Amino acid sequence: DCERCVRTHDHHCPWVGTCVAEGNRVYFYWFLLAQLVELYAFIVEGWLSLIAIEKRGSQGYPPYWMLRRIILLIGLVIMMALGAMVTALVCFHTYLAAANLTTWETVRWYKISYLKGREASKGSPFSVSLRSNLAAYCCPPWCARPLAADETVGESCCAVQGLKRTEDGWALWELKEQHIPWAIAWLPDWCAD
């Protein structure tokens, strides 16, 4: 959609106007969380305003307080619908981060050449462990660097065993045996399909 190649393409997002991929998906995730907090803050504020209108009762000119209540209720319904959608997106992208999958892989599993013949319920062939999956998802290449031979894991949250990186910090993806991290293994099969 953006007419350029990107590493680990997730999806094209019309709301941010760009492709979400390896270099910016953690920022997209934080964007979703910020939107979620903002929506729920507006919902709480709206309910508090509605309660205040109810406590005042029918004081004042009737059409004004009735109109205000109706507009507020319509706004709250819209905010709750948007809140439900953004909550679903946050949950879905949390699952994708933990499973080391992309939206594109999840939606088009059986049409992607490197995933053909593999069962989606067995997990991603790029998944190593929950920690390495989250490091690959959350650590942009400029923060991550490969471990030197004499270094131990733990010096950086982005440098984890099992996750190989190029010299410039990008994740090095290798097809392996499919793996589902323990933290999401309890989810029903329909969540992974």
End-to-end CA distance of the chain: 24
If you ran DSSP here, which 8-state letter would residue 122 be given? G
User: Backbone phi, then psi, for 125, in 5-degree steps?
Assistant: -75, -5
Q: 2 an active-site residue? A: no
Q: What is the DSSP string of 4-22?
A: S--TT--EEETTTTEEE-T
- Active-site position among 13, 138, 143, 157: 13
Residue with tokens 């309660």: 51
On whether the CB atoms of residues 106 and 189 are closer than 8 A, the answer is no
- Grouping H, G, I as helix, E, B as strand and the rest as coil, residue 165 is strand
CA angle, 127 then 129 then 131, to 5°: 120
The answer to whether 180 and 123 have CB atoms below 8 angstroms apart is yes
Helices (H), the chain: 25-56, 62-99, 103-107, 130-138, 189-192
Catalytic center residues: 13
